[in-house]
Chains A and B, each alone.
Chain A
Amino acid sequence: MRSQYWMLFTLCSMIIACSKLLPAAPAEDQILDGPVEGLSAEQSIIFLRGDAAFNNDVFTQQTGLGPLFVATSCGSCHAGDGKGHPFSTLVRFGQRDTTGNTFLGAGGPQLQHRALPGYVPELIPSGASFSTFMPPANTGLGYLDAVSDAFILSLADPEDKDGDGISGRPNYIVPASYSQLRAGSIVANGKYIGRFGKKAAVYDLLQQTAGAYNQDMGISSVFEGVDTYSGLLVDQEVSTATIHDVVFYLKTLKAPIERNTGDPVAKAGKVLFNSIGCAKCHLPDMQTGISSIESLSNKRFHPYTDLLLHDMGSGLDDGYTEGTALTAEWRTPPLWGLGLAKKSQGGRYFLLHDGRAKSIEDAITWHDGEAKKSKERYDQLNVEDKNRLLKFLESL
């Protein structure tokens, strides 16, 4: 009888020990992966399909990779759905003015600098200007997609009528032929407001996704059917259903969750963030409109962007542009998830459009143009206040 008690005790001990031996799940606010709240079971299934296609599908020569390409999978450039790494940067080339890319016949707009064995990668054509783009984080894109054009336009001040030195304006672009125009889209001279990409030159996530399959991986689809190597219309290499699944996945990835919100240092940093004018472009609060995905409809969220173009000065002028943006103009990048960037960038920061800034402070230092006044106010802060501000930014 005593041995039975002993065995029972041992068994219970083993069960308890086993639960301690398994790794704990990381806190929800420490990871970017995961769906928005409130998806139905049906939507969750689509989300998981998109997740698998985005993170697990690796293209090979047999499944259509290339022959010229930048990456072999979506997940290669967005580890953990976070920002990219210099290894995964891509180069866009083309023109300096807003008349359109004249190098589309020479491999533009994107450089495919890698190639299957036996093929020669692209080189930037003579006379083309170019810029290097760091892959952004994927999270919260559905919220940005669900903001109305009217809301974005309400933030614009192209003539700087309020005299604060900041004159944000939207990038008016020609959407892809397959893009579905949002209800209430605002059109100007036949062009629509772009909101995705470094230059806000992409209308929606379908255009972004189909374009990335094609330009990044050399994968043709019903949406982007021209092979980047031959320039010929070719068979579909990814199904339409998969592209829709990936678009749904990107739309329903949760927004990054702020951390240390109760920390008095971070709170003080947030006050400084507003007082020195950062929040004029990195707008903390936005509101979605009506979305076909109920979880995204009429939601208040905190992206720290205004989705507008701003002149960032000569230091960040690469001489290349897209749409109606000027070469020194960049769309305000969302700051949400900034503090988690290192977790997808190999433990280091690679910030700004091309990853040149190796710290948050370095990134602030590069600000100029419309951000010059805010940057000067930052420079005038004492060390403690700078640290408060940085602590706040790392909490995003």
Chain B
Amino acid sequence: MVCSVTLAQRDSSLFKRIAVDTAGLLMNMDAVYSRPAVQIGKIPVNVGGYVELNSAYVSRDGIAEGLSFQIPRLTLFISSSIRDRIKFLTEIEFEEGGKEISIEFASVDIELHPLLNIRGGIVMNPIGSFNQNHDGPKWEFIDRPLSATTIIPATWSNVGAGIYGKLAKGDWVWAYELYATNGFDDKIINNSQNRTWMPASKDNRERFTESFNGVPLITGKTAIRNVGLGELGISWMGGVYNMFRSEGIKLDKKRSVDFVALDYNTKIPFIKTYINAEWVWAFVDIPDTYTEQFGNRQQGGFIDIVQPLVKKRLLGWNGASINLAVRAEYADYNVGYFRQAGGRIYDEVVAVVPGISFRPSGQTVFRINYRREWQRDLLGNPPAKLAAIQIGLSTYF
């Protein structure tokens, strides 16, 4: 991330700001622990968080919905080192002014060896890059990427356990993660969105207490990073989403839901252009007798390009920067053709989001985005056109 490289600040009072690793070998999987935080005295607990504040003027097909203000999320995180090589971190998110409060992450990590760590608790499934690396202040864009939030339902976290490890050698670092967690439920094809909608499973809060069908969701990721070339990750997440058996009675066959994602990020030397991209494919086993409104394949992705323009003392802030940014994104919620009627199924969204950001420091971003979006319905009728002018602030605290 453009802002991920931050320098430590030392406070003169009891609060001590914790430095973020600047070695250049941090990966997306490290995002949860590579955040600015404050330590209180000698208590081995770090506290931090971030907040996002936005305002948007949205017009859909020429009908303006007026100006609105949002506080989409306020997130608190607390971490502590319990003993050597045993640590705990939790992330609690208040969404939409407290309408929804969720524990996005709460896990104990035990390091047996750099290549073998055990993690248990509420974990963020390592699918794609955004799901684990989603903090608002790290991004030049007010809206989260469509494919990462509506195909991969970021932030997607579940109760479970697994292992991870890293191996660094010279300019290279390789990492892996593998978890078994609770997973999806049949809401993904039984929801008021009228399409296969992975985020519908997030409404099921019981997934934090028990599995919907007793079959674990397996998520695995491997990634490799070179200091000069960037990071490339490939990940898979798969499980069963339906209630195939109840009270010992077979109701249906096991129906699978699988995701495959590729992610890449790099910073081009000299011009310092930052590129971040992710693409995901999703596959859902849907009964043939159900409606084709609910697609059995989805795909989508985004690419963000961020170009720093100025980095110097601005308005009294040392090291402040102004960045130009653009995002192109796409989400196809129903890949395929009508079985009987023939013809392609659409149900897709394309968006382009240019923007400009001002960062007084790496931890705070003021951003202005202009969002242009074209959404086509299932049949491919002329797209609904949306434009939004968004202004926002996001900062760690």
Contact = CB atoms under 8 A, between A and B. Distances in A.
Interface string B228-261: 0000000000000010000000011001000000
Contacts of A62: 190
A18 B379 CA distance: 31
Q: Interface SS of chain B: helix, strand, loop or mixed?
A: loop
A86 B341 contact: yes
B63 A87 contact: no
A114 B289 contact: yes
Interface in B173-219: 186, 189-194
Interface string B366-397: 00001010000111111001110100000000
Interface stretch (B117-125, B273-281, B290-298): B290-298
A87 B378 contact: yes
B194 A58 contact: yes
B172 interface: no
A73 B194 contact: yes
Interface stretch (B16-24, B54-62, B126-134): B54-62
Contact of A117 (B61, B252, B387): B252
A76 interface: yes
Given A22-B64, A79-B377, A85-B379, A118 B251 contact: yes
A344 B186 CA distance: 30
Interface in A66-101: 69, 71-73, 76, 79-80, 85-87, 89
A268 interface: no
B59 A116 contact: no
Given A26-B62, A60-B191, A343 B387 contact: no
B190 to A, nearest CB: 5
A61 interface: yes
A191 B252 CA distance: 47
Contacts of B255: 117
A120 B381 contact: no
Contacts of A347: 380-382
Interface residues of B, number: 42
Contacts of B293: 71-72, 76
Contacts of A118: 251-252
A18 B57 contact: yes
B114 interface: no
B341 A23 contact: no
B381 A23 contact: no
A319 interface: no
A346 interface: yes
B59 A23 contact: yes
Contacts of A73: 194
B49 to A, nearest CB: 32
B98 interface: no
19 contacts: A23-B62, A25-B63, A26-B62, A58-B193, A62-B190, A79-B378, A80-B381, A86-B340, A87-B292, A87-B340, A87-B379, A114-B289, A114-B290, A117-B186, A117-B189, A117-B290, A121-B289, A345-B381, A347-B381
Top 6 A-B pairs ranked by shortest CB distance?
Answer: A25-B62, A86-B341, A346-B379, A23-B385, A22-B59, A58-B194
Interface of B: 57, 59-64, 186, 189-194, 242, 251-252, 255, 287, 289-293, 338, 340-343, 346, 370, 372, 377-382, 385-387, 389
